[in-house]
Structure 1
């Protein structure tokens, strides 16, 4: 299809034609690009040409528009008197128009405008004359993928009045003898867009306006996005083949950020293609991941989805009907998404156990599948079982790890961090370790807790819970070391504030308020991101972070698993447990690919207290350095990072600790337990 297929007239006039339906709509259905210079534009005009827009955006079409800012007399007066910069006046004038639109324009039209801008399908620039007169020309050009063009000019604005209500006329040019006119309009528009037109100044749509418009965006796009077929990357195809060849079972041990979710859904699609039917069960760690998986399922053509979490009355009856209809052959393709908490409930287990054939289980972050509450599950009849995790082994839980392997089978495909970085699936990164001391008070408290632990370990009747609690308090002393915050604040005090963006700060429990408050008082746009932030606000916060409206997010654990923040470029690790699952996943999230992101930076606050005894120094170093070993080995500045830490360790002859990876240390501890 192309613009050559459109039955065009040399003019359209309101006495005989419906300009929006007879011209705009038809051209949009065949075009792939639309350039428009216009005096006035309102979002409600989009609702008149919705049919054409739908076809237009299915072809991944884009619109470029030059508009007049609608300045009032007061705005013009302010410009003439030099009281305000033109750019600021225009921003306010346009904002005023958008605020009025919220009341006067139908909500869906404004939502459409918001989504077009948000998805970079509509670019708007603002034109104003250098003598403060009115910019009022009106012309446009449609393009298709074959290189055909249709140009037009006339009295119609890009408003409901211009398209439908007013008496308007436009002249249309598409024939061979119109080529000179068409080329002239193309050149005029390109000169406008690049701000090369005498007597006019063209500016980008102000960021403040763009953010305000996008703020009107609702949860779903009113215009169907282009239907894109997701094709597996070579490494994803290898994972698919590995699972298929292992009788539809196994664990994908893939680095965080490399697309485990999409890979698993591609595998489920392959299962459907081969078996003809599928009832897909997806288990996720947290409720906020249910919606994320639902969206991914929709992108992979799954339409019938039941979310099972929260109050049982909200999902039990629906799931019961879904299982019954699937067993009767009334539905061929269905998805149930749940959390590990709900998956362990008797109601969910009983319903899933009734499934008859062609069922497929995906366990996201499958290390959670080893929890005791799930070991008596009734999922044994499920035909295909797939576990996903960058770190499937459970930390200090051998029994749980064995159960995971017994249920899913062993790892059938591995795609580690080095492979992902080398293949361009993840971003390269610079790793900067900061070596920290502890205060004398912190050293004293750490020594007391160590003595208490020694006493407990020597007591055969010691309470394991008390041992765990003392260990937790001792670890927290390192996580909350006062010198970390002092250094963090001095770093940010020395930065140019507007150059800071897309930055994460991981801190210890109980320190979010302190760090957020201090950074805010310095003038940074900072927001907390922890369990106290309501689920319905998290998406808005992450969206503002992507846009740069929020410069810094301060988090504890909420960004550890499943939450996508690919725009992150810089991360500060003030606190982290010794569990590699936590810090490995945090690193993976920071290294996700994102437009204009070529390099990530990780700053790690490592406690190596020079004011401690040699024995305490070694004990703390043994806990802190496995993270250093893991982070430094794939960093592009590996040797520089090792030089910084090596100098500190040399005095104690502990340089070998820089090469001790987390699981190596873990296995050494396990061997020591056996020997004891």
Structure 2
């Protein structure tokens, strides 16, 4: 065995199976360009740095350049590289020279976009391997993409990495191969390792999504009040306002959901003592407000990370290395937050693109020991529920399909968004009145479990108290059992209530119990009917695998009437009867 092959064997010995396969494919092909697509948390950094170490040892390259989306990731990559004996200068700027004491430098896409000629000189002065982390940020026709293509076009080798190889536009990503499929140009990866594969291999954690709904109320500029149930089929304006009302830190929904998330985190810490939680907020104002709520709930200090503030990277590192319970971050920082101990998340932002959602959920899937699971709390909004149900889907970047829905954000707005003090108010005249929180159902492995129950109830506690160490099969089995118990308990409650009502009416009462409706006021009857309707929807969802929202939509289309929150008692009974006959 040659010394070179011996070195490769030594370096690859500790790699995961997918990393060894991808490495061998890379070494066999010795390509100028290579795209590795691996789900967040699978170990893309380790794979890329192993390639770098081998190429340096074999004198294929003499310099390493690592390009990343955020400043924090520069220091994170440098620390990881040091563990393989690679010295990377994370302090390199557009006005400094390359220090020959280092093997290379780490820079951001923004740096390259601002001074591409400088980075061209760095990459061509010596034989250079350029590692392009989260390459989807470098779409052509953007300043970052133009800069990246110019700066690294003549580099010796380029290794592109991403967990989400898609964008919202038709701008080709530099150095990525596209293939014509049915008239559209589809990005082609050299190696792909998806979430479903990683979950089966035990490389990532299973993620349970807890979807919270509830009635939201708001007032427009004319003083007219509106009410809608979060998660029901609504028009775009109603959905946006119900969603915004739920996320209002002055309301009741967010404190209730944060309390549930804290309870879940404490449960997980019984098995994983250092488990931490992350709340992803829309803007800096709400981030600070959420932190204050969490401090009241937990009685502990909460770390707030705003990526435009000095010391943000240090706060992330301190939280990662410590055992504090909670961190709150503005939504745009999610891709730069890499804290392996994160196990509970609260998706408290209005961002709803597949790109952002995948990156955000990627913060919670990194597995450290067998059986670890993650729990993510989110609003019961159709677009988010669909993303949660299809998390394992592998998406590629497709060109030539301009009519597809907008699925991403403008990369050049990243820095601007991080500097915004508040979310722009695009709903002038809107005033939040309040929103109640209910645990609508849970999503795991694309299937729905459970039925609606109010926050703070014993039924909610049953789900928040799921054991912290469960593999995917155990989680699925336990969720099925909890759902069955919940539905059985609801059936017993309904039967007991009907018996009690018939007894109270005497022997001449209508056997159907219909007479009981006349003596009850709406405030007593409507919540029970909504609960019964949601129970039936959950049962249908469990049997058919269809999302709750889709079933609600079918029922409303066939029975007519307004959203559930605005239904009369008779309209609710009609929907219940329809579901029973379905």
What TM-score do the two structures reach when normalised by structure 1?
Answer: 0.49
Does structure 2 conserve the Cα–Cα contact (< 8 Å) formed by 1:578 and 1:624? yes
- What's the secondary structure of 1:337's corresponding residue? strand
**631-640 or 572-581, which moves further after superposition?**
631-640
Does structure 1 conserve the Cα–Cα contact (< 8 Å) formed by 2:277 and 2:326? yes
Does structure 1 conserve the Cα–Cα contact (< 8 Å) formed by 2:217 and 2:225? no
Deviations 1:579-602 (A, max 9, x none): 212111222221112358622112
1:229 CA drift (Å): 8.4
1:476 CA drift (Å): 8.1
Does structure 1 conserve the Cα–Cα contact (< 8 Å) formed by 2:306 and 2:329? no
1:294 CA drift (Å): 0.8
1:522 CA drift (Å): 3.3
Q: Name the residue aligned to 1:398.
A: 170
Match of 2:449 among 640, 644, 651: 640
Q: Name the residue aligned to 1:425.
A: 203
Counterparts in 2 of 1:430 and 1:655: CA distance versus 1, 3 Å: farther
Deviations 1:122-150 (A, max 9, x none): xxxxxxxxxxxxxxxxxxxxxxxxxxxxx
Counterparts in 2 of 1:480 and 1:412: CA distance versus 1, 3 Å: farther
- Are 2:341 and 1:341 aligned? no
| Paired residues for 1:108-119 under 5 Å | none
Deviations 1:444-477 (A, max 9, x none): 99999xxxxxxxxxxxxxxxxxxxxxx9999687
Distance across 1 between alignment mates of 2:551 and 2:72: 46
1:417 CA drift (Å): 0.5
Q: Name the residue aligned to 1:280.
A: 64
Distance across 1 between alignment mates of 2:89 and 2:41: 26
Does structure 2 conserve the Cα–Cα contact (< 8 Å) formed by 1:434 and 1:606? yes
Distance across 2 between alignment mates of 1:443 and 1:230: 65
1:275 CA drift (Å): 4.0
Counterparts in 2 of 1:480 and 1:274: CA distance versus 1, 3 Å: farther
Distance across 1 between alignment mates of 2:550 and 2:248: 19
1:533 CA drift (Å): 7.2
Distance across 2 between alignment mates of 1:445 and 1:423: 56
Does structure 2 conserve the Cα–Cα contact (< 8 Å) formed by 1:420 and 1:426? yes
Counterparts in 2 of 1:595 and 1:632: CA distance versus 1, 3 Å: closer
Match of 1:253 among 16, 31, 37: 37
1:411 CA drift (Å): 0.8
Counterparts in 2 of 1:241 and 1:538: CA distance versus 1, 3 Å: same
Q: Name the residue aligned to 2:522.
A: none
1:487 CA drift (Å): 2.7
- What's the secondary structure of 1:360's corresponding residue? strand
Does structure 1 conserve the Cα–Cα contact (< 8 Å) formed by 2:316 and 2:337? no
Distance across 2 between alignment mates of 1:444 and 1:646: 36
Match of 2:122 among 349, 352, 358: 352
| Paired residues for 1:380-419 under 5 Å | 380-395=153-168, 397-401=169-173, 404-405=176-177, 410-419=188-197
Distance across 2 between alignment mates of 1:341 and 1:280: 18
Does structure 2 conserve the Cα–Cα contact (< 8 Å) formed by 1:442 and 1:481? no
Q: Name the residue aligned to 2:302.
A: 527
Does structure 1 conserve the Cα–Cα contact (< 8 Å) formed by 2:35 and 2:176? no
Q: Name the residue aligned to 2:246.
A: 481
Bigger Cα Rg: 1
Match of 1:290 among 74, 77, 85: 74
Deviations 1:386-433 (A, max 9, x none): 1111112112x1114477447998310110001111101111232222
| Paired residues for 1:56-205 under 5 Å | none
Counterparts in 2 of 1:292 and 1:655: CA distance versus 1, 3 Å: farther
Counterparts in 2 of 1:234 and 1:276: CA distance versus 1, 3 Å: same
Distance across 1 between alignment mates of 2:161 and 2:155: 17
- Are 2:329 and 1:583 aligned? no
1:541 CA drift (Å): 5.2
| Paired residues for 1:420-499 under 5 Å | 420-441=198-219, 478-479=243-244, 481-482=246-247, 486-493=252-259
Q: Name the residue aligned to 1:547.
A: 322
- What's the secondary structure of 1:431's corresponding residue? strand
1:293 CA drift (Å): 0.8
Deviations 1:266-307 (A, max 9, x none): 12223234445421111011111111111111111113x333
Distance across 1 between alignment mates of 2:220 and 2:21: 50
Does structure 2 conserve the Cα–Cα contact (< 8 Å) formed by 1:433 and 1:606? yes
Q: What 5-or-longer segments of structure 2 have no aligned partner?
A: 1-9, 180-185, 227-235, 270-274, 394-442, 451-537, 558-582
Distance across 2 between alignment mates of 1:597 and 1:442: 48
- Are 2:409 and 1:649 aligned? no
Q: Name the residue aligned to 2:418.
A: none
Distance across 1 between alignment mates of 2:320 and 2:392: 27
**342-351 or 566-575, which moves further after superposition?**
342-351
Distance across 2 between alignment mates of 1:410 and 1:236: 18
Q: What 5-or-longer segments of structure 1 have no aligned partner?
A: 1-226, 323-330, 449-470, 608-620, 657-676
Distance across 2 between alignment mates of 1:594 and 1:444: 54
Does structure 2 conserve the Cα–Cα contact (< 8 Å) formed by 1:352 and 1:379? no
1:532 CA drift (Å): 5.8
Distance across 1 between alignment mates of 2:58 and 2:309: 42
Does structure 2 conserve the Cα–Cα contact (< 8 Å) formed by 1:309 and 1:339? no
Does structure 2 conserve the Cα–Cα contact (< 8 Å) formed by 1:446 and 1:474? no
Counterparts in 2 of 1:406 and 1:281: CA distance versus 1, 3 Å: farther
Does structure 1 conserve the Cα–Cα contact (< 8 Å) formed by 2:216 and 2:245? no
Distance across 2 between alignment mates of 1:536 and 1:636: 38
- What's the secondary structure of 1:256's corresponding residue? coil
Q: Name the residue aligned to 1:362.
A: 131
Distance across 2 between alignment mates of 1:307 and 1:473: 46
Q: Name the residue aligned to 2:387.
A: 627
Counterparts in 2 of 1:524 and 1:472: CA distance versus 1, 3 Å: farther
Distance across 1 between alignment mates of 2:42 and 2:191: 13
Distance across 1 between alignment mates of 2:365 and 2:310: 24
Deviations 1:67-113 (A, max 9, x none): xxxxxxxxxxxxxxxxxxxxxxxxxxxxxxxxxxxxxxxxxxxxxxx
Does structure 1 conserve the Cα–Cα contact (< 8 Å) formed by 2:136 and 2:164? yes
What TM-score do the two structures reach when normalised by structure 2?
Answer: 0.56
How many residue pairs match? The answer is: 376
